[in-house]
Structure 1
Amino acid sequence: MLVTKNLVPGESVYGEKRISVEGGVDDTKVEYRVWNPFRSKLAAGILGGLDHIFIKPGAKVLYLGAASGTSVSHVADLVGPEGIVYAVEFSPRSGRDLINMAKKRTNVIPIVEDARMPNKYRMLLSTVDVIFADVAQPDQARIVGVNAHSFLKDGGHIVISIKASCIDSTMPPEVVFARELENLKEQQLKPLEQVTLEPYERDHAMVSGTLLGIFRSPLLIIIQLAVYLRNRMPTT
């Protein structure tokens, strides 16, 4: 069983089971929330054997593809009150749920924007220790790359959930995963570890990695500038 220490004791987020145990300060109880791997890719990756997720107390995390905040709430538990989670979600409907969740977990900063356009939320954050991505898009590697070169600190890490069918449903998942690793390398990201998410998720993998070298990619900076200028152009 996987659990996280509840940042807001007495409160659940998605109906998850809560467990109280003795051992707190002055013999008070400590409450934990069960982290369901069938509802969280990150939990599935941990139970699937991923050795390092790099998310620890006090960390700053950029979470791409936050959805309604199920997994984000557990990440908020992990980083604790001294950490912060910048949670990016494109869907307005899921974004509303995310915002409501963040009202009680105040270390979560909900951002309802397109992760392809980090310049739209650049003013809300500086550098982060970890980027977690669950965006399930064909250009996922590029999305992660642009955000990493914008916000990931030197020595920081990425963790990515890869859904094979969202990238290419005509190819075997193993081939898709291998190609995504190459795509990450093209973004100057170095894969470190890879696990599959079965039995929790079919045809999914999770990959951790880091930036190659200490310099930001000039090409990606140019891409970011082009996106920014395009967004400023008047629509017809």
Structure 2
Amino acid sequence: MKLKPLKENKNIFIDDKGRLYTKNLVKGQKVYTEKVFKYNNEEYREWVLKKSKLSASIKKNIGLVPINEGDRVLYLGIAAGTTASHISDIIGNDGMIFGIDIAPRILRELVPIIYKRDNIIGLLNDSDKPDSYLHIVPKVDIVYQDVAQPHQIKIFLENIDYYLKNRGYGFLAVKARSINVAKDPKEIFKDVRKSLEDHSLNILKEVRLEPYHKDHAMFLIENK
């Protein structure tokens, strides 16, 4: 099996069967149920599509993946760190992820990961109160959000206003059923798009995440 870098991001790799990988920042460490293997004397971790909305969005042709070595990332809803670990691989030791989660039990699952990864800081905070971590989180290159709340758009926009640099990027994973279980997801995603545009954000791409994540979409935005 051979790997080659994605044209959209040289630190994400694809094999001849279309599976995605990142180069393991911590050799020997598995974060979840992903496969780990060696290729050309380097270790790679499979980025499982059904375990990560970001990898699913890449597979669904979101296009540009503007996450680079050395980037600072604010991750809202980091949970157990599945997706964050792959972002950690991409940004390397010169980058940093500030991971916010409100659930102590879930955040404890992150501890074994960040014990060996110096580029992730886990913060027990409420992403609905972005001013509560101003003393820790600086301006960032990326805001990534995966928060299943009815007001998840408001959370995203407020955190962008506080933390995202000009010309920075945001990934918003929208779970339609968390916003309104009775409304057609297409209409919800249309409403989300309008909210982002009304906030003067440049929407670079919107992709639906089926069949990997039902009733989900990923929005990639740029802060003007």
Superposed pair shares fold, TM > 0.5: yes
Residue matched to 2:31: 13
Q: Determine the C-alpha separation between the residues in 2 that align with 1:90 and 1:72.
A: 16
SS, match of residue 74 in structure 1:
helix
TM-score by length of 1: 0.84
| Aligned position for 2:95 | 83
Give how far 1:208 is off.
0.7
User: What CA deviation, in whole Å up to 9, does each residue of 1:151-187 have, x standing for no partner?
Assistant: 1011101111111111111111111100011122333
Q: Which residue of 2 aligns with 1:173?
A: 185
- 2:81 is matched with which residue? 69
Residues in 1 aligned to 2:216 and 2:129: alpha-carbon distance in whole angstroms: 25
Q: Distance in 2 between matches of 1:18 and 1:81?
A: 20
- 2:124 is matched with 112
Amino acid at match of 2:207: V
Q: CA shift at 1:126, angstroms?
A: 1.1
Note if 1:98 corresponds to 2:110.
yes
Structure 1, unmatched stretches of 5+, are 23-28, 213-236
The count of residues paired between Structure 1 and Structure 2 equals 206
Whether the aligned pair in 2 keeps the contact of 1:53 and 1:159 (CA below 8 Å) is no
TM-score of the two chains, using structure 2 as the length reference: 0.89
Secondary structure of the corresponding residue to residue 49 of structure 2: coil
1:138-217 alignment to 2 at 5 Å? 138-212=150-224
Question: What percent identity do the matched residue pairs reach?
Answer: 37
**Could you tell me how far 1:199 is from its partner in structure 2?**
1.2
1:119-153 deviations in Å (ceiling 9; x for gaps): 11111121100111100211111111111111101
Q: CA deviation at 1:11?
A: 1.0
**C-alpha separation between the residues in 1 aligned to 2:150 and 2:202?**
19
CA–CA separation in structure 2 for the residues paired with 1:164 and 1:126: 30
Q: Select the structure of larger CA radius of gyration.
A: 1
CA–CA distance in structure 2, aligned partners of residues 138 and 162 of structure 1: 10
Distance 2:30 2:177 in 1: 32
- For residues 74-102 of structure 1, what are the alpha-carbon distances to aligned partners after superposition, in whole Å with 9 as ceiling and x for unaligned? 11001011111111111111111113311
Where is the strand percentage greater, Structure 1 or Structure 2?
2
CA–CA distance in structure 2, aligned partners of residues 150 and 130 of structure 1: 12
Instruction: Tell me the equivalent position of 2:42.
Output: 30
Query: SS of the counterpart of 2:84?
Result: helix
3-state SS in 2 of match to 1:124: coil
Distance 1:51 1:134 in 2: 19
Q: What CA distance in whole angstroms lies between the structure 2 residues aligned with 1:10 and 1:100?
A: 13
| Structure 2 gap segments, 5+ residues each | 1-18
| CA distance, structure 2, for counterparts of residue 142 and residue 186 of structure 1 | 12
Distance 1:147 1:186 in 2: 16
Equivalent in the alignment of 2:61: 49
Which amino acid in 1 is paired with 2:139? T
